[in-house]
Amino acid sequence: MAESSNDHSPAPRDAAVAHPESIGSYRIRALLGEGGFGYVYLAEQSAPVRRLVALKVLKPGIDSMRVVARFQAEQQALALMDHPNVARVYGSGVTESGRPYFAMEYIDGPGIIAFSNREKLTVTERIKMFIAVCDGVQHAHKRGIVHRDLKPTNIVVSTSGMPTPKVIDFGIAKALDDHDPNMPELTHVGHLVGTATYASPEQILGVAEGLDARSDVYSLGVVLAELLGGALPLDLRGLRGALLTQTVMYAEPVNASQMLEGIPYERAKAIAEERGTTVDGLRRALHGDLDDIISKALEKEPAERYPSAIELSADLVRTLHQQPIRARSRGPVYRIRKFTRRHAKSIAVTTVVAALLASAGTYALIRSNEADAARGESFAAIRARADAQAEAVDMLELLVGLLRDENSEGAPGTRRMDLKTRLEQISNRGAQLALDHQLEADLRLHLGRAFLSLRDFEQAEREARRCVEIADGLGRVDPLFTSMRGELLLAAVEREAGDPARSSSVLRGVEDRMRLLELNAESAHFDLLELASLQAKLALEQGLTQLALGNADTAVLDFNEALDRSPPKSVSHVATSNAARTGKIDALLTLGRAHDAELLAHELLAAQTAVLPPGHRWIAATRSALGEALYMQGRVADAEPLIASSDALLSSTLSAESSLVRASSRRVDELARRLGRAVSRGPTVPEVTSQQRAAEGPAPKP
């Protein structure tokens, strides 16, 4: 709970209040805090399980029969929630004196802003943590539960293990807001359940009926502004009655990048330092996209805000990856600026070519528009079609970002975002747009890869088949080999779903098509770099499938071919070569060639640590495989810390369904059987400095 403290020290007690020693099966250990409508106790539950809980008990005076009934009704909905960024509600009941209570997950950490300031999280780290909060709120919204009292103290960061933000008190505001005439202070306009500063205008104006997810989006916008900018965009503290309602209706929130201007310089400097930057640096970081994202969340009209928490977080993901956001008009200047920022290194090379092509491109566009007009297509229709294409490009950019980060380590408390919801939204939206066939095929390819990463094999297969169908129907040579990439994805889906024989059959068809491509490569003017990259990808998939079929010898040959064919200048080279080396290590271990696997693991670790941050999941996975090679050679003492630390990192940052986690867990189990005891759980993979690497010396030679 936000009111909790790490040392469980009791809060000062009101001498006039007799606090109970126990409530039901809960033994009271300390008073954690007191809010406007209840007390929060640290309690120990004895049955059906023993655990510490935060027990929130309503104060006398707001415990009417209707409130009790609402609490009990809310409990049914709250029991359905199961999300790492939402505090669990274990149960509810009524004390002997008739006062309702909730037993909730006890969280031993501060509010999100207090934690972020204490740890001096950067703006980027705060955004990543906030994305996890949006994930939790979206989880509740999908179950029909609106919080209605989101504020920093209701978003608590658990500090047991990896810091994780958790939203608390879901459903309590709704249960209390029952318009009971005995509680006028809670239901009059301007006196609502919750805190006016973070409440949406419709809540403050008394529109109790029909409050939906967009009210929570507004509150999230206020929290985000304060989390990033260090101040409130619209300070309503101390306002009451008509002054409050007039301010809410007519005053415009201050942009996040401008909030420091009205603050004494020393305070502004302290706020910037808490974010690891200067005052000017913080203004620059917040100016532009973040200002626009927060402004959209804080629109006074609900219809003008983001429709859901996940849409808000999607724009935050886009801005982290320098992609166009939804919160502002996507004019050509804006898109060019975004493109330039993302691809700064290549702009110098392409500027001259772009200048040479500009006149021809403009003429082609004019002729195209004239032809469209001649066919009777209105300007509005042309514009709508162009907008559809632009939206599809945005969806592709978002997908690439999601695929890149789906298994990556982020700021404290982040987790895999609710990808499936986003992917389904993108898939449905893509079906509604009149897209260029090549663009739609590419969109389906990326969607299929994303669904495969979530192990949603049915949806991944559907997207892969749609990709192949669209690409095969282009009626011309597919310049990006999208059809064959779709078939390779289909083969991967079959293999991961447990049918490597079908995967092998699909790959044989791809191999036949590849031979035809190779024969016609020069005459068809193929992009030879793309072709070589595709050949390497085919060899990689063949190796993985042969390994799944138990043909480790053949798999080694395929992985070698993938490494030989992958062109270093291709975009996919790093991922392909890493996967091929990892697969080859697994194949060597399967063949019992532990020493060869050890040598290759050392080689791969050297390559990985040169370009990846310490503790990256690829490094952890390779260290785990190295551990297996060591214990296969009888070097158990050397293997145990490698396997244990790698498993700790992988299991704490990736989904349990991840292939890396499953492989790591298998190694832990196998080592435990060899040891005859549990594997000692060490810390996560430590940071390895260049000095430490030098001290360790080079990898052993054959």
Apex CA 638: angle with CA 633 and CA 639, to 5°?
A: 70
Length of the chain: 702
Q: What is the rounded distance in angstroms from the CA atom of residue 28 to the CA atom of residue 22?
A: 5
Q: What is the rounded distance in angstroms from the CA atom of residue 366 to the CA atom of residue 348?
A: 27
Q: What is the rounded distance in angstroms from the CA atom of residue 419 to the CA atom of residue 460?
A: 13
Candidates 581, 679, 593, 673; CA nearest to 629 is 593
Q: What is the rounded distance in angstroms from the CA atom of residue 566 to the CA atom of residue 574?
A: 9
Residue 402's φ and ψ, nearest 5 degrees, are -65, -40
In angstroms, the Cα distances linking 382 to 368, 369, 406 are 10, 8, 36
Q: What is the rounded distance in angstroms from the CA atom of residue 264 to the CA atom of residue 77?
A: 46
Both structure tokens of 666: 């298998």
Q: Please list, in sequence order, all residues whose beta carbon lies within 8 angstroms of the beta carbon of residue 399, skipping any fewer than 6 positions away.
A: 423, 426, 443, 446, 447, 450
Question: Hey, which residues does 100 pair with through a beta bridge?
Answer: 94
Could you please report the per-residue DSSP string of 491-546? HHHHHHTT-HHHHHHHHHHHHHHHHHHHHTTTTTT--HHHHHHHHHHHHHHHHHHH
Candidates 593, 616, 592, 87; CA nearest to 604 is 616
Q: What is the rounded distance in angstroms from the CA atom of residue 1 to the CA atom of residue 592?
A: 52
Q: Where are the alpha helices (DSSP H) in 8-166?
A: 65-78, 112-118, 123-142
Apex CA 432: angle with CA 426 and CA 435, to 5°?
A: 90
Question: Hey, which residues does 44 pair with through a beta bridge?
Answer: 27, 52
112-118-123-128 Cα dihedral, nearest 10 degrees: -40
Instruction: Out of 63, 108, 135, 149, pick the active-site residue.
Output: 149
Instruction: With beta carbons less than 8 A apart as the criterion, state whether 196 and 238 touch.
Output: no
**3-state secondary structure at position 19:** coil
Instruction: With beta carbons less than 8 A apart as the criterion, state whether 328 and 288 touch.
Output: no
What angle, rounded to 10 degrees, do the helices at 659-675 and 636-653 form?
A: 150
Query: Is 596 labeled as catalytic in the residue annotation?
Result: no
CB atoms closer than 10 angstroms to residue 679: 20
Q: What is the rounded distance in angstroms from the CA atom of residue 140 to the CA atom of residue 142?
A: 5
Residue 18's φ and ψ, nearest 5 degrees, are -95, 105
Token pair 């990856």 is found at 321
Candidates 105, 101, 102, 54; CA nearest to 84 is 105
Could you please report the per-residue DSSP string of 574-632? HHHHHHHHHHHHHHHHHTT-HHHHHHHHHHHHHHHHHHS-TT-HHHHHHHHHHHHHHHH
Q: What is the rounded distance in angstroms from the CA atom of residue 304 to the CA atom of residue 273?
A: 34
In angstroms, the Cα distances linking 144 to 147, 208, 247 are 10, 16, 30
**How many helices (H) and strands (E) are present in the chain, helices listed first?**
28, 8
Instruction: With beta carbons less than 8 A apart as the criterion, state whether 232 and 197 touch.
Output: yes
Q: What is the rounded distance in angstroms from the CA atom of residue 501 to the CA atom of residue 482?
A: 23
**3-state secondary structure at position 665:** helix
- List residues with catalytic annotation: 149
